[in-house]
Amino acid sequence: MKKQNAIKQAYSFDLRPASVEEAGLFYSDEHQDAELGTVGHLRMDFDSGGKGFYHTWWPHNGDRFNTPEFKEALQEFVDAMRQSGPLKDLSAMNTYCWHNGGEIVENDSVYGFIADTEQYRFCLRCTPRPGEYQGYLYCYDLRQQELARQSRLVGRVTFASGEKQEFTDIGQYLQAIREELPFRDTTGFRFETLTDDPQVRKAVDDILLDFAGEENPRRACNYGLTETSKQALRDTAAPSKPHTYAWFVMTDCGAPEEQIHRDLTLEEAIQLYQDSGRLEKRLGVTKDGMATVDLVRSLDGEQQFFEDCHKLESFRNDPAVFEAAETIRKELDQMTPKEGITMGGM
């Protein structure tokens, strides 16, 4: 750290005592780092005599937010706290905590103080006891917090009065639409879905169409994929990765009486397909919960074996699916003529 007499005046630091509810800001939690925009934390102690000052920096978020701008702000904050705040020495920390409160751990003399600038939040944890690390300073980039918040937004609603609400909770966003939609002509209610999650976008359309007395004919898969889902779909094509397979039988596809039997073993699917008396039925597989392909279909007594598993990226290099397709073909080839099935191809 720079000498105390090098303090600049670009930042103004106003320490306030933390509440117990804010105690989490004074400890490491890697699961919250991205959401909080954690730059890193500084561990400090006053040496055995209580007058020294030793410190170690611990980066968070891959040290991505530790910019020159942040380094300057951190330097000024520590210098200010060293000059006339709780980091001057052990005695000064003890006095500061005694007079200003901010106890975040009950009956353990652990105190927390927070200072905000326009860009950063500094959370100073003080433990004014000899023989321990007396200070931990957790540093957060408020701009990164806002970016993380924006990325979590599910939707936004507005009213003619100018009132605006933003939602990160899917259930609350959908509930707001359900409750406010009947009054939109008088309140000026408008909504904007900000997520590209297919399930959420479909749920919104379900509400709108239900309000109009209609049913939504589109499935979630018709609403596209998120970036995460696109990566997961690409992973299904990787021979080096482990994969899962869930077999299904669908009957009367696209009709009101459509039924889908999911999460079957291959043997269960073959048996169910053979036993079904529906005029239209198909057997297929879902890989890794993402990619789906039909392998065989029966329509009005004519059976067709599809070749899509040899063409689709997720399946064309998958020996497990090829072997299963051959097993299905052999099993169905053994079906007796009295069942009225003729073997065809596609």
> How does pLDDT run across 99-151, given as a tens digit for each residue?
999 999 887 889 999 999 999 999 999 999 998 899 999 999 999 998 888 77
pLDDT of residue 66: 95
Where in 127-178 does DSSP place strands (E)? 135-141, 155-158, 164-167
For residues 158-183, average pLDDT: 93
> How does pLDDT run across 47-96, given as a tens digit for each residue?
989 999 999 999 999 999 999 999 999 999 999 999 989 999 999 999 99
> How does pLDDT run across 297-346, given as a tens digit for each residue?
999 888 999 998 888 899 988 999 999 999 999 998 876 444 443 433 33
Quote the CA–CA distance of 282 and 259 in Å, as a whole number: 11
pLDDT of residue 11: 53
pLDDT of residue 195: 85
Other Cβ atoms within 10 Å of 174 Cβ, number: 20
> How does pLDDT run across 10-19, given as a tens digit for each residue?
456 889 999 9
Non-local CB neighbours of 166 within 8 Å, separated by 6+ positions: 153, 155, 156
Under DSSP, is residue 77 helix (H, G, I), strand (E, B) or coil? helix
Quote the CA–CA distance of 26 and 126 in Å, as a whole number: 10
Q: What is the pTM of this model?
A: 0.51
Quote the CA–CA distance of 163 and 175 in Å, as a whole number: 17
Q: pLDDT band for position 275 (50/70/90)?
A: very high
Other Cβ atoms within 10 Å of 6 Cβ, number: 10
Sequence length of the chain is 346
The rounded radius of gyration (Å) of the Cα atoms in the chain is 31
Decide: 198 and 158 in contact? Cβ < 8 Å: no
In the chain, where are the structural domains located?
A: 4-147, 153-223, 242-343
